[in-house]
Amino acid sequence: MKKALLLLVCLTVVLSANIFADSMKVKTTYGDWKITSTMLSQTDLLAGMTKANIYAPQSGTMVYEFKAKYIDGLADGKGGFGIHVFVDKPSTGKAWGEGESYLLWVNYDENPVSDSTPKGLSAQIYKSESNSRMNLVQSVSLKSVEPMLAKYLGYTLPIKIVIDGKTGMAKVYDPFKANYYYKFPLSSDTPLEGNYIALRTNSMGVAFSQ
């Protein structure tokens, strides 16, 4: 059994309403999820492909903000979490993909089995075409950031993502450099629109709140 790994993640998605206040907007599909008026947490440390679908219409420019704090763990040397954006029709059970959508993923794997997954800390973009089909679009090593993350393990780190649904351009802000961001094309299949976002984890416990 791996040691407890908990990321306390404050999630602010710039939408029209508090997505956690109305539990009817949140549908969990796999994993040990708990829902309150201000928090959504997944505590199964062994389950992969855990997911919570949240009704949140998206079009135009969207802003997704996280604050993440590392608490403990990764005894087995792997884990990850991320967010599906612009989801059209979410899965209703355990699934590899998530309808038509894009997954922004942060991964840690000390012994990856695939050459496409960098060793250690990395970031991936996946394009989901259905609940069973999802392909890797881009994978970037973040190993150079690991010493900085180790230094700030006891701190809450901000994560900010801005996606222009009209152009498909995305910005991911650097948590260590104020107002500095990495810009890249997420998709040329524009405009990007969707009715849901989906939070998911792999082999770790995560608490999400706004």
Average pLDDT over residues 140-156: 81
First-last CA distance in the chain: 30
- Judge contact between 124 and 95, C-beta under 8 A: no
Contacts by 145-151 with C-beta closer than 8 Å and gap 24+? 145/121, 145/176, 146/120, 146/121, 148/176, 149/70, 149/121
pTM: 0.87
Outline where the chain has alpha helix (H): 146-151
User: Which CATH fold topology does 6-209 show?
Assistant: Jelly Rolls (2.60.120)
31 vs 81: CA distance, rounded Å:
13
Residue 162 in tokens: 């801005």
Comparison of pLDDT for 11 and 67, the residue scoring more: 67
pLDDT band, residue 5 (cuts 50/70/90) = very low
Q: How many CB atoms lie within 10 A of CB 151?
A: 10
Domain residue ranges of the chain, discontinuous segments joined by +: 6-209
- Which of 34-48, 161-175, 176-190 shows the lowest per-residue confidence on average (mean pLDDT)? 34-48
Beta bridge partners of 117: none
125 residue type, one letter: I
pLDDT in tens, 47-100: 889 999 988 899 999 998 877 666 555 778 888 888 999 999 999 999 999 999
187 vs 167: CA distance, rounded Å:
8
The residues near 114 (Cβ < 8 Å, ≥ 6 apart) are none
69 vs 122: CA distance, rounded Å:
17
Find tokens 């069973």 and name the residue: 132
- Judge contact between 85 and 54, C-beta under 8 A: no
Q: State yes or no: pLDDT of 191 exceeds 80.
A: yes
Output the CA–CA distances (angstroms, integers) from residue 62 to 15, 69, 198, 202, in the order listed. 8, 23, 15, 25
Per residue in 49-76, is it b (16+ CB within 10 Å) or e — as a string? Answer: bbbbbbbbebeeebebbbbbbbeebbeb
